[in-house]
Structure 1
């Protein structure tokens, strides 16, 4: 007779008593000698758990991983450790990958900034086929060599995936994903909008002055902000060292500046461009400057009272923010000029330019039309974006070379840099703007991986995340 402790049912411990036969081997050379009879579906040699219990532990491990799974198992009367749960998950059978004709690859973070993985998706069936550790080209190339080679590889514009696809599947057609192309274009447009917005603010101020019949109050010259003074000093120092023949890395060491800051200052011919990019950021006081300036000129200098007044208009900030803004005006006793209407934030302008015109509200579309009439530069920038959008949505990849040339010849620094970078991966970008393949399903699975990762506790590692993703895809 053999006793098996299976589980707790209704608060009572259930003991299964089995009567099994034991067989003896007649061969004198057999090292085992005896064999116990097994009950199909219930027992197996050397097993400490029944098949049903193993499936239950695997399900608990899949959903809760280590420590949290142990706590749930204990409440069910199952005394197991977290390593046992992880082993049950790792022992689950792998699903066959099969032949993938169109493969989509992208990276995800298991620990942001430290550890990354790569997810592979069959873009024809939209099913996750595998997940591997690392996001470098060697990992992708090794995976491709071990499996049937795809005909098309859809990827982002990272150089590692491009090299890995070239090494592992040299005959595959590489396609740059349109989502990442549009995302990179939006980042370039936002940088150029910051510069254009500086000129747009001047145009709006001139228009407001032309329509104003009242005599403006005398302008009080207040001290320049410290950040502006520091930018002017650093810009002059960087360009002086560039004239002496120093490299950007050497300039960064000499001035104690970050390499990205040195590049930004070195690429800007005029310091006003850098100041505009750093100062034309959205502020919680946008929309209330005119009231603050007018009340200041009327003699109301108390920040608490001014905060209460603008709160009735919808201001949701604090009194300290109003105090910091008014501090620059307290060095003199004169009046300050009432500011002209501020243009919309750079992020709003970028969103309007990058959105489908049919999806914009009537107010947003009207403001964008007004801004494009006020600024020729903004109108040209919007036309470049429209041309790229038409090329991307209508799959007119043959127009890519002409678009790149037009962007490089224009005066937009960030847009020209984006266009030059497209030449480094020209074939894949052209394929992305010509072929119908896209990494949309891959991005969807990456978001699902992020949600699964947030649900995991304890010693959850990449292999556990991989099992969960593959079985839930």
Structure 2
């Protein structure tokens, strides 16, 4: 087989004069065999040569060597007297674009590499394959690539994503049937969603979270589309309502947990709840107490919530929360680790060797499946295990039942809870009637979602409105404001779980770009396939 047939698909267009290797680079000296060329302006053929020049073009590597093509290119006179171009260069659009420093096949490979890995990672990957290219060149290739408008999906997923968390957000649109991102929008305003739907008619079902801008945008942009609320967010909203209820009754809740969370172990070690440890009054807790006292004093004197919020420079929601609480809101770390299932192991280790080091205890915990950090174990042993080193019986805190965790227990059926969790839930329900009614309602709501019993939603909302628990009443009112979408979530199969997965992909791509993730670049990397 002729070597030029391996290098160029149209071998009749080029002639390979020589091949030279200099260190790790192979130079191909190539000239065109075509005697005429078309003017790019008037498309008239010309064979009148003006001059010659060389184009230096990078090509795909071969046999572990970089390849560079020295292309001898002709310049021609245009024979059309009315044409603006008097002199033009010979074009090879199929192999080498005008002014390009790389072949079309190399540009296509770099585009795919950039879309998959980004600029910096793509440049490092190309270096492994003997392609010398910078990250900026790869990104410029992506910027030049055109975006093909996708077909309008019948089932559309909508969710927001963060340019910068809690500051700026955009919107991602996902084709739920094809499992791919089809569009990124620069904000999450209702008018933007409305305009996109009006420009792309034909959407039949829209899956979204409960953000009001999305609901209004879909309603105005595509009134005939069926809206489906996300089931995960519905359960999350329910959990938040239960958490507010537990915080409101925190004094009663804390006493119950302290009483029910004690558990004696055989031997010389006692495991107790964190409530048994002395509470430290931190400066932040003292400031919150003073702020709460001032708010209640002003409200008792007849000042409105709006005026109190304005004078104290806080939100009205915060003022309302302080007025309904009996003590300042607690601030618990969300990452408290439970040592419940490792308590026996710690107890046996200390009984067997009272002078055992914390490092050896950590090794034993790791061998038993513990995957937490060392600092948590050190603090656990330091603050709890060895409070009374000379006493016959030592006490260990067993578990932290924060309102955030307990709120999850209230909505789960009893069959999914262990013995201790059922005891905690039963104790809460017996002591506070609001918690008992809320627990029953939340379990019914969870069952409706899992069993897809949307026809029962109307009766459930009526029960919640008559329950007398203001947190459940507030949750029921929020369902009424988006009733059709919530009901569809319990009847149809579609949900926003797939969209959340696509947002994880978006975050991964954004991090790969190392701070160069402009909106247009991110859009092309996610929508060009």
TM-score range, shorter chain: 0.7 to 0.9
Task: Find the counterpart in structure 1 of residue 478 from structure 2.
Answer: 421
Task: Find the counterpart in structure 1 of residue 190 from structure 2.
Answer: 137
Q: Which moved more, 1:375-384 or 1:114-123?
A: 375-384
RMSD of equivalent CA atoms: 4.5
TM-score (norm 2): 0.67
Q: Which moved more, 1:441-450 or 1:391-400?
A: 391-400
Equivalent of 2:144 in 91, 95, 101: 91
Equivalent of 1:178 in 231, 244, 269: 231
Matching of residues 195-214 of structure 1 within 5 Å:
195=248, 198-203=251-256
Tell me whether 1:6 sits opposite 2:63 in the alignment: no
SS in 1 for 2:198: helix
CA–CA distance in structure 2, aligned partners of residues 124 and 165 of structure 1: 19
Contact in 2 for aligned 1:63/1:456 (Cα 8 Å): no
Q: Which moved more, 1:19-28 or 1:433-442?
A: 19-28
TM-superposed CA distance for 1:280, in Å, is 11
Distance change (3 Å), C-alpha of 1:341 and 1:117: closer
Q: Which moved more, 1:53-62 or 1:443-452?
A: 53-62
Q: Which moved more, 1:116-125 or 1:349-358?
A: 349-358
Tell me whether 1:460 sits opposite 2:482 in the alignment: no
CA–CA distance in structure 1, aligned partners of residues 414 and 338 of structure 2: 29
CA–CA distance in structure 2, aligned partners of residues 67 and 106 of structure 1: 29
CA–CA distance in structure 1, aligned partners of residues 129 and 280 of structure 2: 69
Equivalent of 2:181 in 117, 128, 145: 128
Q: Which has the larger radius of gyration?
A: 2
- Which is strand-richer, 1 or 2? 2
TM-superposed CA distance for 1:91, in Å, is 2.5
Query: How far does the alpha carbon of each residue in 1:359-380 deviate from its partner, in whole angstroms, 9 at most, with x for none?
Result: x4xxx42223222332334443
Distance change (3 Å), C-alpha of 1:409 and 1:460: same
Distance change (3 Å), C-alpha of 1:27 and 1:316: same
Matching of residues 399-410 of structure 1 within 5 Å:
399-410=456-467
Matching of residues 290-305 of structure 1 within 5 Å:
none
SS in 2 for 1:171: coil
Tell me whether 1:447 sits opposite 2:504 in the alignment: yes
Equivalent of 1:398 in 455, 474, 481: 455
- Which is helix-richer, 1 or 2? 1
Contact in 2 for aligned 1:67/1:82 (Cα 8 Å): yes
Distance change (3 Å), C-alpha of 1:201 and 1:77: closer
Task: Find the counterpart in structure 2 of residue 157 from structure 1.
Answer: 210
CA–CA distance in structure 2, aligned partners of residues 370 and 161 of structure 1: 42
CA–CA distance in structure 1, aligned partners of residues 398 and 126 of structure 2: 64
CA–CA distance in structure 2, aligned partners of residues 409 and 235 of structure 1: 31
Task: Find the counterpart in structure 2 of residue 147 from structure 1.
Answer: 200
Matching of residues 38-437 of structure 1 within 5 Å:
38-39=91-92, 41-66=94-119, 69=122, 83-195=136-248, 198-203=251-256, 225=281, 233-255=290-312, 257=314, 259-268=316-325, 271-272=326-327, 274=328, 277=330, 316-318=377-379, 322=383, 344-355=401-412, 360=416, 364-374=417-427, 375-376=429-430, 377=433, 378-437=435-494
Q: Which segments of 5 or more consecutive residues in structure 1 lack a partner in the other structure? A: 210-221, 288-304, 327-337
TM-superposed CA distance for 1:244, in Å, is 3.9
Task: Find the counterpart in structure 1 of residue 47 from structure 2.
Answer: none
CA–CA distance in structure 1, aligned partners of residues 413 and 114 of structure 2: 45
Q: Which moved more, 1:400-409 or 1:440-449?
A: 400-409
Name the count of aligned residue pairs. 431
CA–CA distance in structure 2, aligned partners of residues 236 and 13 of structure 1: 75
Contact in 1 for aligned 2:57/2:101 (Cα 8 Å): no
CA–CA distance in structure 1, aligned partners of residues 259 and 110 of structure 2: 73
TM-superposed CA distance for 1:389, in Å, is 1.2
CA–CA distance in structure 2, aligned partners of residues 31 and 280 of structure 1: 73
Distance change (3 Å), C-alpha of 1:50 and 1:223: closer
SS in 2 for 1:62: helix
Q: Which moved more, 1:37-46 or 1:366-375?
A: 37-46
Contact in 1 for aligned 2:57/2:71 (Cα 8 Å): no
SS in 2 for 1:117: strand
CA–CA distance in structure 1, aligned partners of residues 64 and 396 of structure 2: 75
Contact in 1 for aligned 2:237/2:475 (Cα 8 Å): yes
TM-score (norm 1): 0.74
SS in 1 for 2:418: helix
Contact in 1 for aligned 2:119/2:138 (Cα 8 Å): yes
CA–CA distance in structure 2, aligned partners of residues 348 and 50 of structure 1: 60
CA–CA distance in structure 2, aligned partners of residues 185 and 234 of structure 1: 29
CA–CA distance in structure 2, aligned partners of residues 281 and 464 of structure 1: 36
Q: Which segments of 5 or more consecutive residues in structure 2 lack a partner in the other structure? A: 1-30, 32-53, 263-277, 341-354, 366-375, 388-394
Task: Find the counterpart in structure 1 of residue 349 from structure 2.
Answer: none
TM-superposed CA distance for 1:78, in Å, is 6.2
TM-superposed CA distance for 1:444, in Å, is 1.2
Greater relative CO (CA pairs within 8 A, separation 6+) = 1
Query: How far does the alpha carbon of each residue in 1:367-426 deviate from its partner, in whole angstroms, 9 at most, with x for none?
Result: 232223323344433322211112212332232233223223335443332222222222
